[in-house]
């Protein structure tokens, strides 16, 4: 018997001793993974516990609080399913789940409960799975006893010794892949003395997805181990998909209510700087530990494989945005959710907008003048259409005005409002030979960005322009290039949306 096996055996003997059970010596010696040891013979006090079936609940909801004041023998039935679901608009992913959703079903038990755990792996699954519950005291947090082939069911029993909010996850090799495909959830072990009552409880978990395609690339995506090794996920999301807590699916509360969010991080790798824009967290239980409470918290750090509970009273109506305050994750990778609070305003706490005066700097003034001019020209076209069909010239003028708004909202920041750029940093668009030599190339640059050395008007530059394909529509790109090609002393033909579309398609 090697060291590890003897340690395992020791731990198992301890676990059995804890249950007060007689040790089935012959079976305990056969300590291979997954070989059943048979049901434990419970001592009279445990055998006499009332039996209860746990209610498991899908996110963002949680089971109701446990009101009993004595332990029970709680039976948990959790089903593993491999399902194809939406990761983002137009993007599907084969999620491996505990219960059909990411995160897995929320489990709620009470400190001191005897938990009889059944892990059922659906017959349609392709792979075996198991479960490691951080609430379990014992080898692998249950994983050593829960390895379950498709169409099989495993059983093990543990005592919920310590209260707190715990992550559970699959621990089958390769573990990062099983977790990275969505195999995590939360189990709350309510303390013996109960928890403060609140009006709303909800369940949110963050996790990142390492898809082969980049963010937003349509179709069925698969797990990319290379990206996982580099810890460079295209997606970082709440509750398993981009937009899972947005719009109709937002969390809800009413003014005056107290809200508790059970927030966990499945990972597999990233931690979360959990923050709610516009709320100060009245109470935070760091790391899901009920023993300590922090008050008046802005942002709380949640480790991978960790959890926290946050509580706050909502006092002002409006939409509050849940984010990982590592902000590109929130605004570019999906880690963004919403809490919509309804009810009467409280102007003493928050006034709402008091004054709306324009202050956007001179560039934006140009932009708004362009908007007026565009409306004026559109009016002119309509008037002209009544009598004259030769409106091509005017169409180009409209494009120029619309393009100017795009330019003043985006390109100006680098290429400058006058199109002259900044020496050695941003190349000029005004009089740019590079731009005017090849309009198709210009479309490509706006779509895909540009990096590496280029020479513009005899001056070398080696910098980086970010791609705009995800930001701008074909029309906007046509308009902005028409504007640039017909401003700053440049002169050129209009760029049509069809041309942009053709270039975009050919680069797919």
- Residues of this chain that interact with ligand HEC (CB under 6 A) are 410-411, 413-415, 426-429, 432, 434-435, 442, 445-446, 450-452, 454, 456, 461-466, 468, 480, 484
First to last CA, the chain: 58
Dist. CA 87–CA 179, nearest whole Å: 15
Of 105, 108, 110, 129, which one interacts with Cu ion (CB under 5 A)? 129
Q: Which is nearer to ligand HEC, 162 or 332 (CB)?
A: 332
Name residues whose C-beta falls within 8 Å of residue 273's C-beta, 6 or more positions apart in sequence: 299, 300, 301, 324, 325, 326
Shortest CA distance to 297 belongs to which of 284, 311, 312, 315? 284
- Shortest reach from residue 445's CB to ligand HEC, in Å: 5
Name residues whose C-beta falls within 8 Å of residue 501's C-beta, 6 or more positions apart in sequence: 474
Total residues interacting with Cu ion, rule: CB under 5 A: 5
Q: Which of Cu ion, ligand HEC, none sits in contact with 178, Cβ below 5 to 8 A by type?
A: Cu ion
Q: Which of ligand HEC, Cu ion, none sits in contact with 432, Cβ below 5 to 8 A by type?
A: ligand HEC
Q: Which is nearer to Cu ion, 165 or 170 (CB)?
A: 170
How is residue 7 annotated by DSSP?
Answer: H
> ω before 372 within 30° of 0 (cis)?
no
Q: Which of ligand HEC, Cu ion, none sits in contact with 368, Cβ below 5 to 8 A by type?
A: none
Q: Which is nearer to Cu ion, 150 or 317 (CB)?
A: 150
- Shortest reach from residue 374's CB to ligand HEC, in Å: 18
Shortest CA distance to 326 belongs to which of 281, 246, 271, 262? 271
Distances (CA, A) of 49 to 22, 45, 74, 109, 160: 19, 7, 9, 14, 14
Query: Phi-psi region for residue 148, left (φ > 0), alpha (ψ -120 to 50) or beta?
Result: beta
Q: Which of Cu ion, ligand HEC, none sits in contact with 335, Cβ below 5 to 8 A by type?
A: none
- Shortest reach from residue 61's CB to Cu ion, in Å: 24
Residue 294 tokens, joined: 């922090």
- Shortest reach from residue 223's CB to Cu ion, in Å: 12
- Shortest reach from residue 495's CB to ligand HEC, in Å: 10
- Shortest reach from residue 502's CB to ligand HEC, in Å: 18
How is residue 280 annotated by DSSP?
Answer: -
- Shortest reach from residue 438's CB to ligand HEC, in Å: 9
Q: Which of residues 19-78 bind Cu ion (CB under 5 A)?
A: none
Binding mask 385-414 for Cu ion (x = CB under 5 A): ------------------------------
Q: Which of ligand HEC, Cu ion, none sits in contact with 462, Cβ below 5 to 8 A by type?
A: ligand HEC
- Shortest reach from residue 464's CB to ligand HEC, in Å: 6
| Segment near Cu ion (CB under 5 A); pick from 56-64, 126-134, 266-274, 436-444 | 126-134
Q: Which of ligand HEC, Cu ion, none sits in contact with 435, Cβ below 5 to 8 A by type?
A: ligand HEC
Dist. CA 401–CA 394, nearest whole Å: 11
Q: Which is nearer to ligand HEC, 173 or 413 (CB)?
A: 413
Count helices and strands in the chain by DSSP H and E runs = 13, 23
Shortest CA distance to 87 belongs to which of 267, 224, 229, 236? 236
Shortest CA distance to 326 belongs to which of 288, 299, 286? 299
CB of 434 closer than 8 Å to CB of 457:
yes
Which of 349-358's residues contact partners 24+ apart within 8 Å by CB, and which partners? 349/315, 349/316, 350/316
- Shortest reach from residue 181's CB to Cu ion, in Å: 8
Other residues' Cβ atoms within 10 Å of the Cβ of residue 345: 13
* 146 contacts Cu ion (rule: CB under 5 A): no
Q: Which of ligand HEC, Cu ion, none sits in contact with 183, Cβ below 5 to 8 A by type?
A: Cu ion
Q: Which is nearer to ligand HEC, 271 or 454 (CB)?
A: 454
- Shortest reach from residue 486's CB to ligand HEC, in Å: 13
DSSP assignment of 311-369: EEE--S-EEEEEEESSHHHHHHSS-EEEEEEES---TTT----------SHHHHHHHHH
Q: Which of ligand HEC, Cu ion, none sits in contact with 170, Cβ below 5 to 8 A by type?
A: Cu ion
Residue 508 tokens, joined: 């797919």
Q: Which of ligand HEC, Cu ion, none sits in contact with 428, Cβ below 5 to 8 A by type?
A: ligand HEC
Q: Which of residues 160-189 bind Cu ion (CB under 5 A)?
A: 170, 172, 178, 183
Q: Which of Cu ion, ligand HEC, none sits in contact with 91, Cβ below 5 to 8 A by type?
A: none
Q: Which of Cu ion, ligand HEC, none sits in contact with 434, Cβ below 5 to 8 A by type?
A: ligand HEC
Dist. CA 166–CA 305, nearest whole Å: 8
- Shortest reach from residue 176's CB to ligand HEC, in Å: 34
Q: Which is nearer to ligand HEC, 277 or 456 (CB)?
A: 456
Q: Give the 3-state DSSP-derived string for 33-97, with helices as H, strands as E and coil as C.
A: CCCCCCCCCCCHHHHCCCEEECCCECCCCCCCCCCCCCCCEEEEEEEEEEEEEEEECCEEEEEEE
The residues binding Cu ion (CB under 5 A) are: 129, 170, 172, 178, 183
């Amino acid at each position: 018997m090697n060291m590890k096996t003897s340690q395992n055996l020791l731990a198992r003997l301890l676990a059995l001793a804890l249950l007060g059970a007689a040790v089935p010596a012959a079976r305990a010696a056969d300590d291979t993974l997954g070989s059943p040891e048979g049901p434990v013979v419970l001592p009279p006090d445990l055998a006499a516990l009332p039996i209860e079936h746990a209610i498991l609940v899908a996110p963002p909801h949680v089971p109701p609080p446990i009101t009993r004041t004595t332990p029970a023998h709680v039976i948990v039935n959790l089903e593993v399913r491999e399902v194809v679901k939406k990761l983002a608009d137009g993007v599907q992913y084969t999620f491996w789940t505990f219960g059909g959703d990411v995160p897995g079903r929320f489990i709620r038990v009470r400190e001191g409960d005897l938990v009889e755990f059944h892990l059922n792996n659906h017959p349609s699954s392709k792979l075996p799975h198991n479960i490691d519950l951080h609430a379990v005291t014992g080898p692998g947090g249950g994983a050593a006893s829960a390895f379950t082939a498709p169409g099989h069911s495993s059983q093990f029993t543990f005592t919920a010794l310590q209260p707190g909010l715990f992550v559970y996850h699959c621990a089958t090799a390769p573990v990062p892949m099983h977790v990275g495909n969505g195999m995590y959830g939360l189990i709350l072990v309510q303390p013996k003395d109960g928890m403060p009552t609140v009006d709303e409880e909800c369940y949110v978990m963050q996790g990142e997805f390492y898809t082969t395609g980049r963010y937003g690339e349509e179709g069925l995506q698969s797990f990319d181990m290379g990206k996982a090794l580099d810890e460079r996920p295209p997606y970082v999301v709440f509750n398993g998909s981009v937009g899972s807590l947005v719009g109709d699916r937002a969390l809800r509360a009413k003014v005056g209510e107290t809200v508790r969010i059970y927030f966990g991080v499945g990972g597999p790798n990233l931690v979360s700087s959990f923050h709610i824009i516009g709320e100060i967290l009245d109470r935070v239980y760091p790391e899901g530990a009920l023993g300590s409470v922090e008050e008046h918290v802005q942002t709380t750090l949640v480790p991978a494989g960790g959890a926290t509970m946050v509580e706050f009273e909502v006092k002002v109506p409006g939409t509050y945005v849940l984010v990982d305050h590592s902000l590109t994750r929130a605004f570019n990778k999906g880690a963004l959710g919403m809490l919509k609070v309804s009810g009467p305003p409280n102007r003493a706490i928050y006034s709402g907008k008091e004054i709306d005066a324009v202050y956007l700097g001179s560039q934006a003034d140009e932009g708004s003048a362009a908007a007026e001019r565009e409306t004026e020209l559109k009016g002119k076209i309509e008037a002209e259409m009544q009598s004259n069909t030769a409106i091509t010239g005017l169409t180009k003028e409209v494009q120029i005005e619309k393009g100017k708004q795009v330019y003043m909202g985006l390109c100006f920041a680098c290429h400058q409002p006058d199109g002259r750029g900044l020496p050695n940093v941003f190349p000029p668009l005004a009089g740019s030979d590079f731009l005017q030599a090849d309009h198709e190339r210009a479309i490509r640059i706006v779509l895909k960005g540009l990096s590496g050395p280029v020479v513009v008007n005899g001056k070398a530059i080696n910098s980086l322009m970010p791609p705009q394909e995800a930001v701008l529509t074909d029309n906007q790109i046509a308009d902005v290039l028409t504007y640039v090609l017909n401003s700053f002393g440049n002169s050129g033909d209009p760029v049509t949306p069809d041309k942009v579309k053709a270039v975009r398609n050919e680069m797919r």
